[in-house]
Amino acid sequence: MRIKGIKFVQNNQEFVVAVLPVREIVGRCKVDVWSPENSDGYQRDITLTRAREFGRYMSKGGTSPTAVLINLRDANTVSEVAPGEFEVEDTATLWIVDGQHRIQGLSRLAEEDPRLLDVEMPVIMMRLGGRYPEAEQYLIINRTQKGVRADLAERILAQKAKREGATRVELGLGDTPLPASLSKDIVWRSRAVDIGDMLNQRTDSPLHGRVKLPNMRAEAATISQKSMSDSLKSLLRHEVFGNLTNEKLTNALINFWKAVQHLCPEPFEEVQETGKAVNYLLLRTAGPFVLHRVLTQLVLFCPRQDGRIQLTEEAFEDILARAGDLMSSEFWRATGDGTIGALGSSQKSFALAADLIMGNIGASQETTGDDFAVDV
């Protein structure tokens, strides 16, 4: 196999950057997967769903400019026959160090779409001379690189949703495709970022300045953007709240959090005075997750006026007050018997706390109906 490439040297180690069609890689490549029978192997086994997702993404017109890293264990199987031209022996094995899911995904989906075998992939070829230095490179690449921060990823997706339309992107009809694992939640998540920003920016919001933004270290920002977005998922998928505009839902949330602040003032005072949430969990991850779960059920108890649900601060405070001690500052302490801290910090614990609060409310008040027109 003759290829065109560019040779470069890094700390006395030669590399070749080249471009190969997938069909030239598939027939020659191997992956050194660890198993009891191959205890000197070092690679993880392929995850078929991940590989197929990449193949589908590429079949829809996606791009992948990141190079596949390949090692030729026998340095004598490749030679430079002319400037910028290299000959790789037909018997040479291309050991994939990084990129097996990309190659396997294209190979497997090529059974349905043979054009994928003609996709050109950038490759970097090494001649490390054996398995051990190859495994070292695998370790360095996979244990030292850091993925994109979740909050930054959310904002990139939110920008794409605004430019191309969230539903179109989710359906794979955007200007450029996304892997399904990225696009599946884009409709509600892009809305959650916008609503979280409004809750954080509006001066009439009890959560003003409380959300940690990417790359920022603002004092008194005690709730991560990712936690805030995730906590809004249940609301954005709710039959009432999910149909409100972002602005109206933000208005409802501000009214709700004003009621919470009136009933539980100490957690807000702690953050205002110290810039931290240490003694109370209300303005940390637990608060939004628990209370936004509560809000999805609270709507059934809200008063109606002319058949429209009243999502006002007064209505929320009246209903929340019926939870008794479970909507007091003491319940939101980080430690102590009978506190939110004693329940734990898992999603299961948050669901339990929400159920306890709603259990008290439901035991003291009947629902007011299931009509969906609202006033905020």
pLDDT per residue as tens digits for the range 306-328: 889 999 999 999 999 999 999 99
Point out the residues of the chain with pLDDT beneath 50.
none
pLDDT value of residue 54: 95
Q: Residue 81, exposed/middle/buried by CB under 10 A (0-12, 13-18, 19+)?
A: exposed
Question: For the chain, how many residues are written?
Answer: 376
Instruction: Quickly tell me which residue has 């959650």 as its tokens.
Output: 192
Determine the angle formed by the axes of helices 313-320 and 246-263, rounding to 10 degrees. 50
Four-CA torsion 5, 7, 10, 12, nearest 10 degrees: 140
Q: Which residues pair with 82 in a beta bridge?
A: 85
Distance of CA 196 to the CA centre of its chain: 15
Integer angstrom CA distances of residue 36 from 22, 24, 40, 41, 100? 30, 30, 9, 9, 20
pTM beyond 0.85, yes or no? no
How many CA atoms does the CB half-sphere of 135 hold within 13 Å? Answer: 12
Per-residue pLDDT reduced to its tens digit, 274-304:
999 999 999 999 999 999 999 999 999 999 9
Per-residue confidence (pLDDT) for residue 362, from 0 to 100? 87
Element (H, E) at 181: helix 180-183
**Model confidence pLDDT, tens digit, residues 6-50:** 999 999 999 999 999 999 999 899 999 999 999 999 999 999 999
Task: Classify the phi-psi angles of 336: left when phi > 0, otherwise alpha if psi is within -120 to 50, otherwise beta.
Answer: left
Terminal-to-terminal C-alpha distance of the chain:
69
Looking at the DSSP bridge assignments, the partners of residue 87 are 2, 79
**Interatomic CA distance for residues 89 and 239, integer angstroms:** 63
Ranges of H-type helices in 232-278: 233-236, 246-263, 265-274
What is the spatial distance between Cα 79 and Cα 92, in angstroms, rounded to a whole number? Answer: 12
Structure tokens at 254: 């501000």
Are 372 and 239 within 8 A, CB to CB? yes
